[in-house]
Amino acid sequence: VESVIVAIDGPSGTGKSSTSKAVASALGLSYLDTGAQYRAITWWMLSNGIDTADPLAIASAAGKPVIESGTDPAAPAITVDGVDASGPIRTQEVTSKVSAVSAVPEVREVITGLQRSIAAAAARGIVVEGRDIGTTVLPDADLKIFLTASPEARAARRSGEIKGSDVAATRAALVARDAADSGRKTSPLAKADDAVEVDTTELTLQQVVERVVALVEERR
Ligand code: C5P
């Protein structure tokens, strides 16, 4: 069987990560969480005293951190300068600053380069999840999926993941982050023309996974 590249894009809280990992596991493919890479570079900026409101400062530091991503869907790992970053990249502080950092073109250039080389090295194929994978990073992907869900469903899922969080506040933060990601100049969050849109509002994770796996099987 030839190697297959699957791009899964969409806003936060649509089930992208859970779906992407499960699809990769079911098909024996590698997995890449590109949001984790943008979070990792943001964490490095915050840890190194770079002002995340200053795009010029971010641009000149963009090439400094060494970010490495594991591609095992059962144990996705991420390190920055050799240090495990999987915990620190999920903090509220990183989440609130990541859109500003990821909007800087120099950051996207560095991270997009990493993503393309990881995808090229995946012998059996890979599931890559993000915001601009189908449009910009891997425009020749064999299958492009765009996941959506109502803001209510997305906020409920996200606050279920974060202990002690409030659904209304989660919803407001989520909507603001999506607006920033969709409104930026360089490779905004967008559905590729040839992507299959799946609305997950009324579907279970298992149903979404089955649908995507069936679409991959059709294409290879
Ligand atoms: O998917 P996750 O919520 O972890 O992504 C964090 C942030 O990283 C997004 O809000 C967005 O600003 C950025 N991102 C991006 N392009 C991608 C993936 C994530 O700009 N392909």
Helix-helix angle 167-183:92-102, to 10 degrees: 20
Burial letters 129-150, b for 16+ CB under 10 A, else e: bbbbbbbbbbeebbbbbbbebe
Residue 68's SS3 state is strand
98 in contact with ligand 1, CB cutoff 6 A: yes
Residue 1: per-residue pLDDT = 55
Confidence of residue 160 (pLDDT cuts 50, 70, 90): confident
208 pLDDT above the threshold of 80: yes
Q: What is the mean pLDDT of residues 23-50?
A: 98
DSSP string, 31-56: EEEHHHHHHHHHHHHHHTT--TT-HH
pLDDT digits (tens, 9 = 90+) for 163-204: 777 888 989 999 999 999 999 999 999 999 999 999 999 999
The atom of ligand 1 lying closest to the CA of 177 is 10
Confidence of residue 159 (pLDDT cuts 50, 70, 90): confident
Atom 2, ligand 1: residue with shortest CA distance: 35
pLDDT digits (tens, 9 = 90+) for 143-155: 999 999 999 999 9
Burial letters 48-60, b for 16+ CB under 10 A, else e: eebebeebeebee
pLDDT digits (tens, 9 = 90+) for 77-107: 999 999 999 999 999 999 999 999 999 999 9
Look up residue 4 and give its two tokens. Answer: 């297959």
Kindly list the structural domains of the chain, giving each domain's residue range(s) and its CATH number in brackets, ordered by start. 4-219 (3.40.50.300)
Q: Looking up tokens 């894009």, which residue turns up?
A: 9
Residue 67: per-residue pLDDT = 98
Amino acid (1-letter code) at residue 73: P
Whether 182 and 125 have beta carbons less than 8 Å apart is answered as no
The atom of ligand 1 lying closest to the CA of 95 is 6
Residue 166: per-residue pLDDT = 86
Whether 84 and 90 have beta carbons less than 8 Å apart is answered as no
Cα separation values, 55 from 61, 88, 113, 116, Å:
10, 22, 20, 24
Residue 145: per-residue pLDDT = 98
177 in contact with ligand 1, CB cutoff 6 A: yes
ipTM: 0.99
Residue 36: per-residue pLDDT = 98
Residue 18 marked in a binding site: yes
Confidence of residue 136 (pLDDT cuts 50, 70, 90): very high
3 pLDDT above the threshold of 80: yes
The atom of ligand 1 lying closest to the CA of 9 is 21
